Amino acid sequence: MKTIILLFIAATFATTAVAHNGETDASGCHTSPDTGIYHCHQGLS
């Protein structure tokens, strides 16, 4: 029973780390809708 509960908790936390919808500018950056902070996911090529 403990294993099932732990798996449920792990799955719950794993799904909270989802990616955003991919709307980035040409530099791979965007403004986070949650925080309003502009950040980049990749450097310039």
Q: Which residue type sits at 14?
A: A
CA-closest candidate to residue 6, choices 43, 14, 35: 14
Return the pLDDT at 20. Answer: 56
How many domains does the chain contain in total? 1
Is residue 15 in some structural domain? yes
Is residue 21 in some structural domain? yes
What residues make up the domain containing 9?
2-40
Is residue 45 in some structural domain? no
Residue 10 has pLDDT above 80, yes or no: no
Average per-residue pLDDT for the chain: 76
Is residue 36 in some structural domain? yes
Is residue 23 in some structural domain? yes
